[in-house]
Chains A and B, each alone.
Chain A
């Protein structure tokens, strides 16, 4: 039976892990390679590295981290953050990553998804999308958008780019369907409403997305406790859950999360 995947996400800046890790037994908690190995031993199903380095000049540092990680890690890992071109993707995959995630670059030039999935295969290309709810009183004003009922009112979901700073004014579901058509192998939606709140994931969005597209969905952002992850994987119908804070701050271990899920009937790799 196919297990749901639990995927820790490491944000990296100039080759060092950021986001305040509190690992007491790790000698160098800022070293992404050591942290990756540690998460592997903890039972992570995959890993995601997000490069949040502002300047693209320090790209060699990222490539070096990817190479050193690939040398010691025997589970899949995905690299994202500032990927702009087929050449960027080639460098990262050749360095040893299994997949890349593309966000803003795909919105600005959708052809990039088509070109890269043709060249490297759909399974290497994850479309990352940042979404934010836009609540509406009058549905007829947004007849071209997918409007759904939530516990906070009716809304549609807008796509954001540039690290969640700029609204693209595009319906998120239509965009997701388009990237899948273009060849994306998986979609990783991140909710700007829920990210960092520790209140859970946007399960209304996730569920609708899962029913509209035929590729695996990796729910990103919002987990505060194992119950949130459980809900994303069941109510939200996601195939995998990305989590950062909940693991980095030591609130829960991967094993605790997986045992909770298994105890509630969710297939996991233990």
Chain B
């Protein structure tokens, strides 16, 4: 029997990571929660999670950011989720201007809608149905969002799905081996598990 792909969920001290761990396990991976460099480098893939505010997150994440960037450059698959997506952008305006790790060019800005945070199930307009994350996921599928900011991607090639909440904002971005969702796949029921399985299948390949 082949061993399960090892996914390291990067723990930089924010939020409960048990849900994403369970989601990845259900999707067919062996998932550890870690902030150790050796475990991050030894994993087959990385997940960058996050709940809360950008400012605290980027401060906590800084010690690990170079390691993670090197891993990304080496071609290791990485999935960013929610705040994790935002850390991958150039900068954020939440709590003052903070720099991200600039994997995706663009600024993280506040949603211009009346009711913020954007909480609940909203639909994905899948612009790139060939993107491996969305194999078997129908257009207009519902996924779960909880956020007040979004990544305003400068390069439209990076945008895989958009979602409407006052404006059409990028809900999934990807570039080569890096994928990131503004929604929570581990909280998006069957659709979310399908997306996680697709990521794990990519890792296995």
Where chain A touches its partner, the secondary structure class is: loop
- Contact call A1/B22, Cβ cutoff below 8 A: no
| Interface assignment of B93: CB less than 8 Å from any CB of chain A | no
Number of chain B residues whose Cβ lies closer than 8 Å to a Cβ of chain A: 33
The interface residues of chain B lying within 8 Å CB-to-CB of A216 are 115, 117, 119-120
Instruction: Tell me which of B144, B147, B193 contacts A76 (CB under 8 A).
Output: B144
The interface residues of chain A lying within 8 Å CB-to-CB of B18 are 70, 94, 96
- Contact call A75/B119, Cβ cutoff below 8 A: no
Instruction: Tell me which of B52, B146, B147, B189 contacts A74 (CB under 8 A).
Output: B189
The interface residues of chain A lying within 8 Å CB-to-CB of B186 are 74
- Contact call B117/A122, Cβ cutoff below 8 A: yes
- Contact call A70/B22, Cβ cutoff below 8 A: yes
Q: Mark B185-201, 1 if CB is under 8 A from A, else 0.
A: 01111101100000000
Instruction: Tell me which of A2, A71, A121, A185 contacts B165 (CB under 8 A).
Output: A2
Measured CB to CB, the nearest residue on chain A to B123 is A1
Report the bound CA distance from A240 to B190 in whole Å: 21
- Contact call A75/B120, Cβ cutoff below 8 A: no
B-binding residues in A (CB < 8 A): 1-5, 40, 45, 70-71, 74-76, 93-94, 96, 98, 120-124, 185-186, 214-216, 239-240, 269
Q: Which of B36-55 contact A (CB under 8 A)?
A: 51-53
- Contact call B51/A123, Cβ cutoff below 8 A: yes
Number of A-B pairs, beta carbon distance below 8 Å: 80
Give B8 Cβ to nearest chain A Cβ, in Å: 20
Q: Mark B150-187, 1 if CB is under 8 A from A, else 0.
A: 00000000000000110000000000000000000011
- Contact call B23/A240, Cβ cutoff below 8 A: no
The interface residues of chain B lying within 8 Å CB-to-CB of A240 are 120
Give B193 Cβ to nearest chain A Cβ, in Å: 6
- Contact call A185/B119, Cβ cutoff below 8 A: yes
- Contact call A76/B114, Cβ cutoff below 8 A: no
Measured CB to CB, the nearest residue on chain A to B117 is A123
- Contact call B187/A93, Cβ cutoff below 8 A: no
The interface residues of chain B lying within 8 Å CB-to-CB of A96 are 16, 18-19
| Interface assignment of B69: CB less than 8 Å from any CB of chain A | no
Can you show 28 pairs from A to B with CB atoms below 8 A apart? A1-B164, A2-B122, A2-B164, A3-B120, A5-B120, A71-B22, A74-B22, A74-B187, A74-B190, A74-B192, A75-B144, A76-B187, A93-B16, A94-B16, A96-B18, A98-B19, A98-B187, A121-B51, A123-B117, A123-B119, A123-B146, A124-B51, A214-B116, A215-B115, A216-B120, A239-B115, A239-B120, A240-B120
